[in-house]
Amino acid sequence: MNPEENLAKLGLALPAPGKPVAAYVPTVRTGSLVYVAGQLPFVEGKLPKTGRLGENVSIEEGQMFARQCVLNGLAVLKAEIGDLRKVKRVVRVGAFVACADTFADQPKVANGGSELLQQVFGEKGRHARAAVGTNALPLGAPVEIEFLFEVE
């Protein structure tokens, strides 16, 4: 099972690992756990769109942005551990969805990322998750996702 080959089968590739937008680091390892900082859906250093679900961002777009957060998270994870085959388990995903006060489909949006993790890692990709709404995210991003991985 090779996660990067699974990505390739989906027509996807890891981006270059992004740099934090502020005074922190993208990953911290402690024991067998790697914490990945909250990822925004940057594509080549830019947010494709700003805004909120239930307003100017559709659920389909939100799912696409959640996928991009996952790709960006895997890119910095790989920079930390060298090879995604060392992932033993995706442990936890924290998904924040910028949305209108009446928006209730945060799980559908977060699924864009969760389903990709399962496509890439198989059973090891099945994770606990907290998906919540928020009124505003950094730089106007519609989605932010943080990750916790167990690694070899």
| 111-130 positions binding its own copies, by CB under 8 A | 111, 114-115, 118, 126-130
CB 151 within 8 A of CB 79: no
Please report whether residue 46 would count as binding its own copies according to CB under 8 A.
no
Query: What sections of the chain are H helices per DSSP?
Result: 3-9, 59-81, 106-121
CA distance 58 to 99: 10
Shortest Å, Cβ 61 to its own copies = 17
One of 13, 24, 67, 142 touching its own copies (CB under 8 A): 24
The residue among 43 and 148 lying less far from its own copies, judged by its C-beta, is 148
**Distance between alpha carbon 75 and the CA centroid of its chain, in Å?**
10
Pick the closer one to its own copies by CB: 16 or 21.
21
- CB-based contacts of 52: which residues, under 8 Å, 6+ apart? 98, 99, 100, 103, 135, 142
- The answer to whether residues 101 and 53 touch, using CB atoms and an 8 Å cutoff, is no
Binding status of residue 18 toward its own copies by CB under 8 A: no
* Contact characters 77-106, its own copies, x per CB under 8 A: ------------xxxxxx-x-xxxxxxxxx
Binding residues vs its own copies (CB under 8 A): 20-28, 30-33, 35-38, 50, 52, 89-94, 96, 98-108, 110-111, 114-115, 118, 126-140, 144, 146, 148, 150
